[in-house]
Structures are given as structure tokens and as C-alpha cells.
Amino acid sequence: MSAPSFSLLIFAISVFYPLSCSSQTGLLPVVINTWPFTNATAAAWNTLVNKKGSIYDALVDGCSVCEIERCDGSVGPGGSPDENGETTLDAMVMNGQTFDVGAVGCLRRIPKAIAVARAVMDYTEQTLLVGELATQFAVEMGFKEMNLSSDSSITMWKDWKTRNCQPNYRTNVTPDPTKNCGPYKPKSVLESLQQTENRGNKNIGPRNHDTIGMVVIDEHGNITAGTTTNGLNHKIPGRVGDSPIMGAGAYAMNGVGGAVATGDGDVMMRFLPSFLAVSQMAAGVPPGIITKLTIQNIAKYYPKFSGALIAVDNKGTYGELMYCIMSIYRYMAVNSMLMGNDPTTATLSAMTRITDYYLNFHLG
């Protein structure tokens, strides 16, 4: 699609479907991430600017802070139990110059998921490791095992059981998963044809499913993007979300930019929003416009999904868009114009771009 066509489409979107979005022109270096996880942003900036670390050091240090602090209960150990009460982790790191990626999915008993993802990128020719064998790799690389459950996650799981296992992500099974716990068996073909999917009643949002996604660009324009999360509350055991899927949770390309996504990962990964955002920035579409186009495309097919997308180009100009997130959506953006070289000089209000309303509309 040509640039004029994109402009015409955006005009139509703006007139008929007003979107919650913002954009900002900045300077390099830049650190930007989903949600107002201030300490994570400051840690990444401190590593990049004050400690003169690499963009990968900065990304891992920043995201690791969120794993330690258990940001919103949705990052790191101690949150988002699955149907069996176990917490597992997803993470990824991407090199924007070489397109190397390290990722882990359904990582068990290892709390430092983002660091393990980097180890996959640094020490293997593979891209994504999952489950128990990803844990085995982490142990071989020197990471320590621990129980990822907490009193809070155990209580959350027990409460879920007392609510007849609601919310529930099973479909086309018996007993009725909207009213009963398992074990489940497949329905007959006829019964399955009579059931329709309704993702609108799961209340997916920052307290039951979230990700820290981060893009780091240094003063030379080198780019990395990555994510870490403990996934969706009460997910089916073995579920891997969009966060460790390159092009879905995050994507980076030197000379172009990077993007990260958060929200209903089972829907969002079907559209590769981060890859689409970066590829369209490569075609000259500004970040503030491409986030609108990408999210609008998802909403056309899944009008009840919740999600947000951040894109930043290689000059530090960034844009974001959120859709149907039932809370105030905030994200962190830090560059040399806002902070200088000292992360302690910036106030929360200066560091945080706030979108203080949410959308709940349907696309025809």
C-alpha cells in the first residue's frame, strides 16, 4: 500500500473510529517500555548511559528489575498460576542488527527468564526453547532453580477453583468449561459446531495478564527489543503467549526501529503486530500512524480484544496505541532530552506519557 493510501486510511479511522494514541519525537539514546514500570526503565537507562553497557545489557537489566519486583504480579515469579497452580515464564530478546533471537516459553522453576532468553541468543544457534527442556538448558548455563509459586499465586489459584474454575480458556469440551472445572473431554463434532467463541468475558487486562516489553536504542542507532512475563492467569498448562514469539511480542531492525506489544496474546500473535509495525516503518510510515493501522487491523476481526502497541523508529520518534484496556494505560519513554545522563533527575511525570482514557468500541 502506498503512503497516500495509508494517509487516507488513517483519515477514515480517525473520523469513524477514534483511537487512543499518542506520539513523541525524541532523541537518542532511548528506552521505552510498556506500562509505568519506572524502576525498570531507570535501570535500563542507567546501564546504557551511565555504565556504558550494551543495549542487551540494558534490556536485560531493565526487564530483570521487573522480574524481581514482580511488576503488577504479571512479570517474574509469584503470579499468574495456570490451571494446576504452577507459574511459568515467557521471555525473548532480539538483536536488531543480525536478527538473532533468544526466547523461552513455559519456562519452569527459573526466575530469570529474560536472562535465560539472552543466553539462548548468545550461546546457541537456536531461537526458542520451551518447557522442561528449556529449564534444563538454563541449569546447564548456571541458572538456579526455585519454586516460582508464592502465597499470593497459591491463594489466587485456590480462589479460582472455588469459582468453578472461572475464567476458563477451554472450548468445545465437556463438562461445560464456563461452569465447571475439569478434567475435560472433547465434545462431539455436532456439539462443537454449536459453540461460538466469546473472548469478551475474560476481563483480560493489566492485573491478570500483562508483559513488560522494552525497546532500547543506543546513540549509534543499534536496536534491541524484548519481553518478559508470567503470562495469563489460569492458562491451560503448557500455554505459550505472544511475548516470546518474535514479531508478535517484540521485533527490532537496525536502521528502522523496534516495537513491542502487550495484551491478549492469543489473539495478537495471530497478526504479528510488532513485525508489521517495524516493516511498515521501513516503508516510511511514521510510528504514530502504524500503531493505529496495526491495532485497527486486529480489532476488525476481534473487536473485543484488549491490547497495546508501542513503536519507535531509529531516530527516537515513538508512538503508541491502546485498545479496550479497561484501565488507565501508561507507558515509559526515556531519552536524553528528558533525562540527560542521570536517571535520578527525572520525575515520574516527565518520564511517563499517560493515555488517561480507554476505548470500548466495535468495528464493523
Show which residues are catalytic.
211
Q: Does the annotation flag 264 for ligand binding?
A: yes
Helices first, then strands: H and E counts in the chain? 12, 15
d(CA 226, CA 212): 8
d(CA 109, CA 87): 8
Q: Are 311 and 295 in contact (CB under 8 A)?
A: no
Q: Does the annotation flag 226 for ligand binding?
A: no
The vertex-136 CA angle with 134 and 140, nearest 5°, equals 115
Q: Does the annotation flag 176 for ligand binding?
A: no
Query: How far separated are the first and last CA of the chain, in Å rounded?
Result: 22
Q: Does the annotation flag 26 for ligand binding?
A: no
For CA atoms 101, 34, 262, 221, give the dihedral sign.
negative
- Cα separations in angstroms, 237 against 108, 130, 225: 11, 12, 27
d(CA 73, CA 209): 9
Residue with cell 519507535: 312
By the 10 Å C-beta count (0-12 exposed, 13-18 middle, 19+ buried), 25 is classed as middle
Please give the grid coordinates belonging to residue 289. 500512524
94 beta partners? 101, 225
Going by C-alpha positions, the residue among 137, 136, 54, 130 that lies closest to residue 92 is: 130
d(CA 126, CA 30): 29
CA neighbours within 13 Å on the CB side: how many for 15?
A: 6
Q: Does the annotation flag 240 for ligand binding?
A: yes
d(CA 31, CA 85): 34
Q: Does the annotation flag 263 for ligand binding?
A: yes
Phi, psi (deg, nearest 5) at residue 166 = -120, 135
Q: Does the annotation flag 340 for ligand binding?
A: no
The strand order across the sheet containing 250-253 reads: 20-24, 318-323, 307-313, 257-263, 250-253
Binding site residue list for substrate: 239-242, 262-265
